[in-house]
Structure 1
């Protein structure tokens, strides 16, 4: 407590404060041992697929087979696909991010709010950087690899699942399973919609999913590290003032 009556706290590496409540990391420490290798694997798959389909203007063999299986989607299912696709459009994506960010702030988790924006934004930005590098096209020449829509919804699901997995009492296995299940469901839903609407090849979708798996945990780690360093600087300044 300083002379003005303000309660000054310092986040520590263990995720606690010296004088206040615990500070929850957005990348739960128990999950790091699993998500690190998964992120590396996701990055590797995304790069390999990008190299395989660089400069292509049509579907591969696997793409054609999977595409044929979802071709001819009925009117009702097409409406579902369009609704899912909307979640990856600028208005839909901004709505999801704003709602989740506001929820984090209401729960007094500013670090989590930063991850909602940074995690989804970094994933989508990565797909935009990769598209011209890979140069794969679909239909009228639109760049297609990797799928930004799939990367966004997968990243959003990953962020929400990471925040839920950080709750006390949830073990490493259960937390990792929750995060991967959320990523799989979100990626599969948006991926199906993109293929059904003819917006992407199936391998574009896989590339977008792997991009989110690689970028989101790395962004969460960076957010935690930056916040911890900022806390250390603040604590040092407080100790200097008190001294």
Structure 2
């Protein structure tokens, strides 16, 4: 098993290390800035005031769509999705990607879980909301899928970054919309969750590669 991990393709393709490092740095800055802006805040201002009223309280049939998407971020749904993606990675002989699937999600969710009580932003008066763990999880899974596809397709740097960030954006927007539509988060909570994944997953992938190389 040790040899299998050591010789497996990198979780973070070399061509993407520099651009994703810059993306992660920018995402971290945005995550921190929004956290400071909404520190112990529960009011509607700026983007939230403009966007939330148009999305919150969506009616059927779109509400059912939002509930289905939201389920993917719940413990049962998330566990199933992570397990399926990890199995797929093993089946295509991408062992490091399988490890990243689990660790990337764990680290991303841990970041959002730790930040929520620190920032102290609440919605509906009592629920900690910043950053959105559901949005972070969906984005993290999309990033892992993107990294796997970039490796399998042999995409170059530009095409790889476009594919990776495109998938992450689609997943983040979909889950962010669902969370806001269901009244669970403010729009900027979703942005924070998206940025948390952009910061955590590449860093975790780099650690996975470094650890594998030292086995």
Place the TM-score, normalised by the shorter chain, in its bin: over 0.9
Out of 76, 81, 85, the position equivalent to 1:91 is 76
| Greater C-alpha Rg | 1
Deviations 1:52-106 (A, max 9, x none): 1000122223202101121452210000000000000000000000101111122
**Pairwise CA distance, 1:10:** 9.8
Count residues with an aligned counterpart. 213
- The equivalent of 1:105 in structure 2 is 90
User: Is residue 203 of structure 1 aligned with residue 203 of structure 2?
Assistant: no
Highest relative contact order (Cα 8 Å, sep 6+), 1 or 2? 2
Distance 2:43 2:77 in 1: 29
Q: Secondary structure at the match of 2:61?
A: helix
Distance 1:129 1:9, change over 3 A: closer
Residue of structure 1 equivalent to 2:48: 63
Quick check: 2:140–2:201 contact (8 Å CA) kept in 1?
yes
Q: Work out whether residues 73 and 134 of structure 2, in 8 Å CA contact, stay in contact via their aligned partners in 1.
A: yes
Q: 1:44 aligns with which of 20, 26, 29?
A: 29
**1:140-159 equivalences in 2 (<5 Å):** 140-159=125-144
Q: Which portions of structure 1, spanning 4 or more consecutive aligned residues, are displaced by more than 4 angstroms?
A: 8-11
Mapped to 1, the partners of 2:5 and 2:133 lie a distance apart of 38
CA–CA distance in structure 2, aligned partners of residues 143 and 186 of structure 1: 22
Within 1, Cα distance between the matches of 2:5 and 2:45?
54
Q: Distance in 2 between matches of 1:139 and 1:90?
A: 22
Greater share of residues in helix: 2
Match of 1:166, SS state, is helix
Matched, 1:138 2:104: no
Structure 2 match to 1:239: none
Whether the aligned pair in 2 keeps the contact of 1:104 and 1:113 (CA below 8 Å) is yes
* Structure 2 residue ranges without an equivalent (≥5): none
RMSD: 1.5
